[in-house]
């Protein structure tokens, strides 16, 4: 088995693993539960509870969830892109080396 087919098999295996595991990480179930809604905030105030027991203000909490969701969406695509680029350049380098070896005259 030559190097090129082993790299292609590795790339296909990586894509399959990423595709199959992405189903498990498809949602963030705690985001909706942790963001305070107006109705729950009003119910908390009526019950005499403090506005935000965690100490973080609601806009700061929403901004934190916003950036965490952006990161969760961006990281898988970034990893796949970086892996693909690395594989592309490795295959390209091997192909150029094979062409140079084939172009040399045999003694």
Per-residue pLDDT, 19:
77
Per-residue pLDDT, 105:
76
* pLDDT over 70 (residue 20): yes
Number of separate helices (H) and strands (E) present in the chain? 4, 0
Lowest-confidence segment of 4-8, 40-44, 60-64, 69-73 by average pLDDT: 40-44
* Residue with the larger pLDDT of the pair 89 and 66: 89
This prediction's pTM: 0.44
Is there a contact between 5 and 96 (Cβ–Cβ < 8 Å)? no
Q: Average pLDDT over the chain, rounded to whole? A: 74
């Amino acid at each position: 088995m030559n190097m090129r087919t082993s790299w292609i098999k590795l790339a296909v295996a990586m894509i399959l693993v990423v595709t199959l595991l992405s189903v498990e990480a498809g949602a963030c179930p705690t985001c909706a539960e942790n963001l305070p809604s107006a109705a729950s905030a009003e119910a908390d105030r009526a019950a005499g509870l403090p506005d935000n027991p965690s100490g973080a203000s609601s806009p700061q909490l929403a901004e934190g969830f916003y950036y965490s969701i952006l990161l969760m969406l961006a990281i898988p695509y970034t990893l796949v892109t970086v892996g693909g680029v690395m594989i592309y350049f490795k295959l390209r380098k091997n192909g150029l080396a094979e062409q140079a070896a084939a172009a040399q005259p045999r003694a």
